[in-house]
Amino acid sequence: MTTITTNSHLIPLGSRPIDRAGHHRADPAWLEAAYKREDALVLLMQGGLPLVTAAGGLVWLGPEAAKLAPDAEPLFLGLDKAGTPVFAVEMPGDFDVEASLIAGTGEFTDFRQCLARLPEMDANLASTARSLFDWHRSNRFCARCGAESVRSEAGWKRDCPECKAQHFPRTDPVAIMLAVSGDKCLLGRQRMWPKGMWSCLAGFIEPGETLEQGAARELHEEAGIRCDASKAEYLFCQPWPFASSLMIGLILPAENEDITIDEDELEQAMWITRDEARRVLAGEHPDIFAPMRFAVAHHILNEWATRER
């Protein structure tokens, strides 16, 4: 059975989207005027880190942002509910907040650390900006002819002046899945994770395969678990800004329980019961903790753990 639900909007990072108002992206005169508006909202990033207040929210600037980085090309994120234009600006590496006009407002802060504290819409906007800025940094040169390309459409495109190729920001589909067997589910952990943290298995979808096939392949490759791709159940998805992925949550019934891990991918994998999963989510398990609430893995585990058997 394949169940399509529509509750991706309840998952952090995608839950409070802005109106992207994409029709304005190709209108330089409108963009220039919008960026100068007194009520414009501008967030700053530096090297993928957002500028965050001591209280844990984004620092929102107005048109003064243009004075901080006159050469920066603002990324137009959209219009908020009041119709206010919202932008993001990537500051140069040598920009020092404390030596600038906005000294004392906040600090560029580790993204994962601040995500858990950001209001939902701020988290969505900062994630989007982070993915886009990362894409610009990694795609300065045309993939077709090697010439340096230029930003266009308010940061949503790059154009090659030589071969005229147009390049659009990409997002990579990733299956993130829970294999289940009766009243048990499969968790894994990677060597680099904090001690005690376990999560769903995940992997990039490869060209030529469906989402469900990719999920089943990854479970077999990483843990030796066989699943019938046609029995995969889609739950919800989440945009994920490390670097730019769409994490697509699935549950797959497993056909075997004997685990053979790929040690390049996983340190360990194991089955836990539904009761254990509930204790993990409640923070009451003595040995295991789950990813934080802003990660979709948390919600996949919760979706299964809170089901009646």
Q: Which residues bind Zn ion (CB under 5 A)?
A: 142, 144-145, 147, 160, 162-163, 165
Measured on CA atoms in the order 67, 73, 78, 83, is the torsion positive or negative? Answer: positive
160 vs 254, which CB is nearer to Zn ion?
Answer: 160
- The phi and psi torsions of 59 (rounded to 5 degrees) equal -80, 115
| Alpha-carbon gap, residue 254 to 231, rounded angstroms | 10
Which H/E stretch holds residue 301? helix 296-305
141 vs 289, which CB is nearer to Zn ion?
Answer: 141
| Alpha-carbon gap, residue 248 to 173, rounded angstroms | 7
156 neighbors 166 (Cβ within 8 angstroms): no
C-beta of 142: minimal distance to Zn ion in Å?
A: 3
130 vs 158, which CB is nearer to Zn ion?
Answer: 158
| Alpha-carbon gap, residue 15 to 8, rounded angstroms | 7
C-beta of 150: minimal distance to Zn ion in Å?
A: 11
162 vs 206, which CB is nearer to Zn ion?
Answer: 162
| Alpha-carbon gap, residue 218 to 236, rounded angstroms | 18
| Alpha-carbon gap, residue 58 to 31, rounded angstroms | 22
150 vs 292, which CB is nearer to Zn ion?
Answer: 150
- The phi and psi torsions of 206 (rounded to 5 degrees) equal -95, 155
C-beta of 257: minimal distance to Zn ion in Å?
A: 51
95 vs 141, which CB is nearer to Zn ion?
Answer: 141
Neighbours of 194 (CB within 10 A): 7
